[in-house]
Amino acid sequence: MTSKYTPLCWAEKACATMMNDYAPAALPPEGRWHYHQGVFLSGMKMIWEKTGNSKYLDYIQGYVDSLVQADGSFEYRDTELDSIQAGVLLFDLYKNSGEQKYKIAADTLINFLTHWKKNPVGGFWHKEIYPNQMWLDGLYMAGPFAVQYGKEFNRPELFDLVVGQAELMIQQTKDPRTGLLYHAWDQSREAVWADPETGLSPEFWGRSLGWIGAALVDILDYLPANHSRRNRLVELLTEFVAAIAKFQDQETGMWYQVVDKGSRPDNWLEHSCSCLYVYAIAKAVRKGYIGEGYRAVAEKGFAGITAMAEMDESGRVTIPEICIGTGVGDYDHYVARPRSQNDLHGVGAFLFACAEMIG
């Protein structure tokens, strides 16, 4: 079923809803440099790029300026990759204003990343409290920022760093039967969830896979056309899309919280992962990385996410069925996770999907 609203209408009304609910500095978790705000504002940045409406960039700047001081200093948690993602907001602000504080803040984050802890085979730890563990989420939290930094400021070694992380993570987590990626891998095999032989977590969590898809298409935006491993990254993206498409719910067009177990009665259709898949697939088609035949998958997915979303008579948008976030666990753990409405990474993912469906 096709929505009566255009993708641009959905996107602008979703932005207006959140802008009415929160001053930029009050976006939750308030007063923190965090990927929740970063993901939502990344989506808003896409709508700014589509419309040219300065109110969106002004709102983004309001968040950044509430935390980044005039000398470029700011507080962030230097114990987790999650702290890096919001760095993608700094580049346009620096280009548009010329203010050095944005460049200094970006320098701070790239220095943090390049000195971050790695496991013995060179994979970034997800957090300091999770030694030697690689989580799928981490590629999105750090990868797009690092390759954009590399392009903007002539740091080509960052391209190799990010591509190496992507290849390692996918190599270690890929299931040969389904082509899906397990949520996490612990090289030390010490985590409670880790398989004693492989170190893999037991399930395919929806949003973690969504982060991989979004990371790959975004990394390719900044990876040089002549990079020696660019074609390999396109191959990995192609394989990812082929695997994900097989698990699309044929009735709704959406995807499940635990991706491969849609037949279980306690599993549920999760909005944010469905949005991220639509984004990755639609963008991959538009960029020519995958065949035009996948456009129908993205269109069906977009119809599903807009059918589940709500817009009232005043234009207020409600995005439901968003997993609030999770650690790594078993099937029961994932399906029992609380669900929220208008969670920032849920609305952000929705804006990603809308932006790509605008065309």
DSSP secondary structure of 305-328: HHHHSEE-TT--EE---EE----S
Res 139: pLDDT: 98
In sequence order, the 6+-apart residues with CB closer than 8 A to the CB of 306 are: 3, 5, 10
What pTM was estimated for this model as a whole?
Answer: 0.98
Q: Report, as an integer, the average pLDDT of 82-109.
A: 98
CB 216 within 8 Å of CB 237? yes
Q: Which of 324, 325, 311, 331 is nearest to 7 (CA)?
A: 311
In this predicted model, what pLDDT tens digit does every residue of 38-58 receive, in sequence order?
Answer: 999 999 999 999 999 999 999
- Rg over alpha carbons for the chain, rounded to the nearest Å, is 19
pLDDT surpassing 80 at residue 167: yes
Under the banding of pLDDT at 50, 70 and 90, the label for residue 192 is very high
Res 28: pLDDT: 97
Res 85: pLDDT: 98
Res 359: pLDDT: 80
User: What residues are annotated to the active site?
Assistant: 137
Which value, to the nearest 10 degrees, does the dihedral of the CA atoms of residues 61, 136, 359, 98 take?
A: 30
The two tokens of residue 346 are: 């849920």
Res 207: pLDDT: 98
Which value, to the nearest 10 degrees, does the dihedral of the CA atoms of residues 277, 127, 102, 214 take?
A: -10
Q: Report, as an integer, the average pLDDT of 327-338.
A: 98
- The architecture in CATH of the region 7-358 reads Alpha/alpha barrel (1.50)
Res 1: pLDDT: 59
Res 258: pLDDT: 99
**Where do the domains of the chain lie?**
7-358
CA distance 133 to 185: 6
Res 3: pLDDT: 78
Under the banding of pLDDT at 50, 70 and 90, the label for residue 36 is very high
